[in-house]
Amino acid sequence: MCVRVPSVRYPYSFYDVFSVVAAAVAIMALVLAVRYDSVVRLELAVFMTVVFLWAGRAIERFLTEAEDRPRQQRRRNRPWK
């Protein structure tokens, strides 16, 4: 079984976005479990904002690419036609 590593720079699928966001949430939980200071909370809020902005841009890119694909290519892949 071949599993690829999630791509941060060029995300190709929902798997990439979900993996990065899940890793960011796990990092945030680990840091907050070790240190719970107002400065740390502010830094983590900025970090999570950047992660969610990245996820929004990646999802918007997926939708744009899916919209730009020609309809003929999608019809050609249907086995019943």
- pTM score, two decimals? 0.72
Task: Quick: pLDDT tens for 20-44.
Answer: 999 999 999 999 899 888 888 899 9
For residue 64, name the pLDDT band (cuts at 50, 70, 90): confident
For the chain, the structural domain boundaries read 36-74
Q: For residue 44, give Cα distances in angstroms to 10, 26, 36, 54, 71.
A: 24, 12, 11, 15, 43
